Structure 1
Amino acid sequence: MLLGLTGLPDRATVCAVVTDLTTHHARVRLEQEVVERHRIEAELRQRNAELAASEARFRSMAETVPDILFATTDAGITDYTNGRFREYTGILSATGNWTDLAHPDDRSLCESAWADATETRRPFEVRCRLRSRDGGHRWFQVRARPIVPGGQWFGVASDIDAMVRAEQALQEADQRKDRFLVQLAHELRNPLAPIRDGVQFLDRLGGHAPEAVRTLEMIER
């Protein structure tokens, strides 16, 4: 180190030392920042790997269930469907409103119930018929719940067509039974009407012939 006439380091020497110290501190800070950045990047890679694994597990499970699974916005626009949806509807990329698949007679009910659910943020549930890939319709129980936070919904549609048709068959059988009982009661009453009329007629005649009396007694019994 060079000393000046006063015995103290000269200006150039002081500047050089300060520069060295500044450079050293800057280098240390840079190294710390690099280490921290690498740590953060490693954590992000780990989280992304865990997220990808979790998503892969979900998609694997979603493809094995027999129900239709879907995710949709508040507006009803689907942005995710599982394989069962594509298999049933024949739609490979679902980007439209799911209520468009509802039977024309059920669409108004679906739209009204969906609007109420999205407004109140309450679970959605409705029984309706959904169009299949061949143009037919089957009954489904459609349920959806809001994903908090955000304007997303996750839903499931379960095929209940066999159950609904069985219920309808039972109702029709009950109606046929009721109609049969009404008709039977009517027919059972009608054959007795002429007999009652005959009894009343003989009674009005007031006949005392033994045959008439015996006939009247037999009819009354």
Structure 2
Amino acid sequence: MDTYQHLSIKEWALEDRPREKLLYKGLSSLSDAELLAILIGSGSTKESAVELSKKILRDCKNNLNALGKKTINDLKANYHGIGDAKAISIVASLELGRRRKLQEGEERSKVTGSHDVFDIMEPLLGDLPHEEFWVLMLNRSNKVIGKNKVSQGGISGTVIDVRLILKSAIDHLASSIILCHNHPSGNRQPSEADNKITNKMSEAGRIMDIPVLDHIIVTDNAYFSYADEGML
């Protein structure tokens, strides 16, 4: 049994308290639960912040991407001791992490293959609970000159307009485009609807001399590339 199981964090040895542990031992010494506990600040009358954090992470199978899909209401409804302020702190910190990953991806904006697209788009799409459809616009050197969210849908689908995509490409003077959308289910395989829109966009791109180089389906830890699979 954990020596600290029934003690509040204030009763723990100084070096084992998450904040003090961070100060004296550094960030790498803390577990995910301890880092989350620092955000939460305090637990409830029944459990410490660390115990509450462990419970939250356990329900997410200790996967931070799964935690990133939790909404404020999810956290408040399922965990005693989590109110507006604590839920907002958790969601805001995960959004900061997502934006950091996005900026890192943007620094390498030249696309040489499907994995470059995944690196750019996974921070935007990987842990969303709903589908979004985006378009990357490239110049003749295959550098990204713009990205545009075309539509946002529900858990199982989104509707796109071919004309809006081509208009966005023309407005950016794009030489080519790459289609991107996510599957919140985690299944990276394309649906029949995905195949139809890919074929439709590919044909429209050929007519307008703005080729579709790829269509990437993003999940939280993997992706599907139409180009890699020889389907474009």
> What TM-score bracket applies, with the shorter chain setting the length?
under 0.3
Between 1 and 2, higher relative CO (CA 8 Å, sep ≥ 6) is seen in 2
Query: Larger % of helix: which?
Result: 1
Give TM-score scaled by structure 1 length.
0.26
Based on CA coordinates, which of the two structures has the bigger radius of gyration?
1
